[in-house]
Amino acid sequence: MNKSDCIFCKIAAGKIKTEKIADTDNFIVINDANPIAEGHCLIISKNHYENVLDLPTTLGIELLDLTKKQSARLIKEHKAEGINLVQNNFKAAGQIVKHYHLHIIPRKMGDNVKLG
């Protein structure tokens, strides 16, 4: 995929307008366009990395910190009882958009949310 055709590159660059929930040096957080639970959001890298294997290790602390902050926000705002972190790598694992992104899905007991 050419980076100029990548929807997440366009979102990160502001070429496609969307509400940013959070914005750090290397990542943005947006609501998922097709949420499977209320509050389902995505952490997207600002630079184009196809998957976790391409993501520089040096971004790990920033990514973990942002993941923890957004997870805590979802637990509070949506009264979630749990959180799923979903990150698919390569087509065989269900990756559709070839740009690093992490799903944060707030969960409640008996919510009937199906993953996969």
**Which of the following is catalytic: 40, 99, 101, 103?**
101
> What phi and psi, each to the nearest 5 degrees, are found at residue 85?
-110, 120
Q: Is the dihedral of CA 70, 16, 99, 3 positive or negative?
A: negative
How open is the CA angle 43-46-51, to the nearest 5 degrees? 65
Contacts 24+ apart (CB under 8 A), 52-61: 52/87, 52/89, 52/100, 53/89, 54/100, 55/100, 59/26, 59/27
101 assigned to active site: yes
Instruction: Give catalytic residue positions.
Output: 101
